[in-house]
Structure 1
Amino acid sequence: MSAGAFLSSFRRGIVAAVAPQLRADPAECLRQETFLASQLLLTLATLLAFPVYLYAWGKPDVAEVAVFALSLGPALCALHVSRTGNLERGVVLAGGAAALLVTAVVLSTGGLASPALVFMAVLPGLIMFARSRLATVAVAAAPVAAISAVAGLAATGAAEAGPAPGAALTAALAAAAMASLLGWSARRSFSGQLAQSLSRGGADAELLDHAPDLVVRLRRNGNLLAANAAARRLLGLAPEDLAGEGLVRCIHVQDRPVYLQAMDTAWLDGSATAGIRLKDGDGAFEQVELRVRRIGERRKDADLVGMLRNVQSQVESEAALRSALAAAERASIGKGRLLANMSHELRTPLNAILGFSEILATELMGKFEQERHREYAQLIHDSGSHLLDVVNAILDMSKLETGRFQVFPEPFHLDEAIKACRQLMEPQAAQGGILLEADGLGPEEEVTADPRAVKQILLNLMSNAIKFTPPGGKVMVGAYRTETGAVALYVADEGRGIAPEDIDRLGEPFVQLKTGYDHGGGTGLGLSVVRGLAQLHDGTMRIESTLGRGTRVTIVLPQADRMETVVPVRPARAATLRPPVDADLPDRLTA
């Protein structure tokens, strides 16, 4: 059998010797395979040295047979680990067996003068397999106890200096040293195949290597056991370069405590998330999101699995967004201050203009010599009133946009509000030859809303309807209860209507549509204010219109069950909730 075939068969045997209950854990399988290989190679080397010893020294005595019998201890430890899967106990037993073997060899080859004493320094190498503190201390204490025993026996004269070891014994010790080297080489060979060991199916390992994020297996102390191929893309390093403390060295010094804290949290609570900075292949630090979870139950040897994702572009985008929001807030504050100052600076002279122009138009201070002068005074008053309405609309829209417009819901009689608004708008409707009618819930019905906001909604909708209705047309304002108990306010007109493609634009600030009829002026803010006031009540605005038939705007306001109030609402009269529009209005009002 060739050396390659032997090593291949040996490796398959080692893989099969791992305890079945641990084969689902790739990292633990790797540790156990490495330990089993090192112990079996050490026993094999000792057995190969036994025939050489017999050829050189002849028949061994009882003591020498006992020494060679002790060399079978590593194989027994490997058998125990293969059967039980308890690697920590196997490491402790292997450390004790090795210390006992070296002690026997030292005592039989000269005591403290024996050249075999140097092998005491090799025994702590088993610590690399230990994961618990108890196993580490036990393995480290084994050679110390062995040396102390040899020294004690030498001090009492129980161990006399014997002859120097012969060539055969030297060869046996050399074989043992070679076995140690073979064990180390086997461990390095297994570590080099870590990517394959992580997924024995092959396809899973390939899938993991193509993952865009860095997937790692970690110890509780943060040391890396395995990583996928994303390490090259994210950090510019091979996965094996991150093993042990390699990943920790790539973390920014200030973020290392955060990383270690995430390890402890994940081990204790099952999962943790942290933001850290990792050094990439160019030496620059990139912001990375770390998500780590514990594998299995919480125990001393439980590992962690983590995923690291580069979020540098996301962090930069969020920073740019925060900067833009801060700039927008500063601009909004500046606009609010400008509008507040404009309100004061414009309203004061406007009130004076309106007051004096009204005095002149009504000729309280005396008759005009010419009728045209009185008309001029009335034009000044009308223009001032229009400008004041524009200023008020802009200020209301600004308050709605900045969230400074507050509503105070309270119970009130909606019919009284509709009646008051109708009386205010009747002169304007009569001037345009328009019939203005109203229909409410009934004199005893109460609704819960902000009375001031409801009146402003009705006035804005009625004003728009009157502006866009030709002479001889009709406008109707009313209210009814919906099936859910909400209050619906509506204003319907007999205007030219609105094209379907333009309806979605209505309600945007400063949008004015050309309908073919004189729109009567305005700023395009009326419906914007109405929609904003409805939203402050958690309500909605719906526009229904058909060209050539008319337009209906409906505002639905939820009541006590959806607003922050405990005022009860009286049950509606189901028979009189919805106004008989088809009976009271021309057919085109029902669009």
Structure 2
Amino acid sequence: MIRDCLDALLHPSARYDVLTRARHRAFIAPRLLGSLVALAAFPIYLAMRGAPSALEVIAFAWLIAPILLSWFLSRTGHYEGANLLSSVALAGLIMTVATSTGGIESFAAIWLVVVPLEAALSASRRVVAFASALALSCVVLLIVLGNLDMLPAPHLSASLRGICTAFGAVSATLYAAGLAFGAESLARTSVSLLYVEEDRYRLLARNMSDVISRHHRNGAVQFISPVAETMLGAPVPRLLGHGLFDRVHVADRPAYLTALSDAARGGEERSVEFRLRRDAPRGGERSQNHSADFIWVEMRCRPLERTSETTSSESEVVAVMRDVTDRKIQEQALDLARTAAEQADASKSRFLATMSHELRTPLNAIIGFSEMIVQEDALMLDAARRKEYAQLINDSGQHLLSVVNGILDMSKMESGSFEISPEPFAPRAPLLNCCNLLALKARENGIDLVTRAPEDLPDMIGDPRAFKQIILNLVSNAIKFTERGGNVTVSAAVDGSRLMLRVSDTGVGIADDDLKRVGNPFFQAGKTYQRRHEGTGLGLSIVKNLVGLHAGEMTVQSKLDEGTTITVALPLVFTPPEQLLSSNIATLTPALRSVKPDQPLQVKKSA
């Protein structure tokens, strides 16, 4: 009830902070209580004493001052100001009584010791310094006035003077004890509040998903919240000092240290992203050689508020770290998607540019020569010229058909609808047949085509149509990019369970920057305006996909202006994926049936 009444008297600025509220309450309560008790005792004192003297009237009137000080604090909330005025009021009362009752030898002079003690409750150095200076000034003033005989002679007898001195000492001691209990109460309140705040921040630090840390400007960690153990898989003691720095990726350490140093020196918030090594959980699936990986962390750091005792060399930084690995993965996925989209757009543009020429050239030839045949009477074409034009129209149509077939085959392969029909066949015959078909073209271009196919090549299981298409594309591509006087060599051999086809030429070669892109649809080495050879760029892409459909491998070795060697490895026995899956299931079925319900399944890896 009394506390509620006191809380109602507090200034609004002190109602929402527990410690401030306790200090204001400790200031108001004893002053109101002491003044009210003194005023209530004044009538009793008059009845026992009789008519009061002027000094007694002044002393009792002065007891209104604590009430006025309490009202001042209640209205303004100026805690230091109220304590300063209280020191002045107490010192004034003591000086008034002391000057009338013996000066420095007065019982009231003892109370000057209480002035700085009372000011100590304000927890303000300025108030304590002012009160101490005020009490010393009063002592000096009383001594000076006494030595100069400027004080009135005391009218108290020796016995009464002894009683007053004892009363002064006892009352001052009791008041000092009350101040001590008040200081202890405030200290206990401060400690309890400190524990409450500490528990609150500890709870906050333990349950936050972000890691809070405190650093020196050189990166050494002084404190780090326990959630770091979950994020990094390492106990907190191992992260203190330079333990966290040792986990920063080597490439990111300069940025990490720069952010901390800038925050400590510049006084502004800094943000940086870096990688941290995370330990694998115990009992995890990772091997000992791969017991850690890296996560992406975003760190925001800012300097701690500096006090007057903190020098620039002691500046510290508080940081908040957050795991942003998922966001980084999404950003990388977006970058890959953007790159893929840009490549698709470039492929589309390259496809349109290439196809516009590859389709327009034969179509123009077909239309032009067919119109000339239609106007053979006006142009007076003989039979030989008509035959020549018809052959040119046929060649242009065949070229146009090959371009369209290449586009359709590539589209089927990319959509996964291109079907492989495996069957047994002898590879030597179709290899020689394809080379013979292209021998005339090689001879016309002044190129020597050499074929090396051993007669003992074994039969293989695969798609003979796709096999021929692989040979035709590789050999025709080699002939197209070989200058007159060069040579193209086609060879076949058996390596274990694979047939090795090797097509070598002494042509223009491929630059190192373009070598890794060979086999991409519509790609031709060299820039468009630099290429001297026509084509859609689909030949090697079709070969690469056909070889992949046969579970084979294609490798390309080339040097610019020296030539190119393309090696294709095809399995002698090709098994479609669905048959391979059925075979594996059939193999595992007896083992599965033999396993008892309570017996764990054991699968042995083959060599």
TM-score by length of 2: 0.36
Relative contact order (alpha carbons < 8 A, sep ≥ 6): 1 or 2 greater?
Answer: 1
TM-score by length of 1: 0.37
Bigger Rg, which one: 2
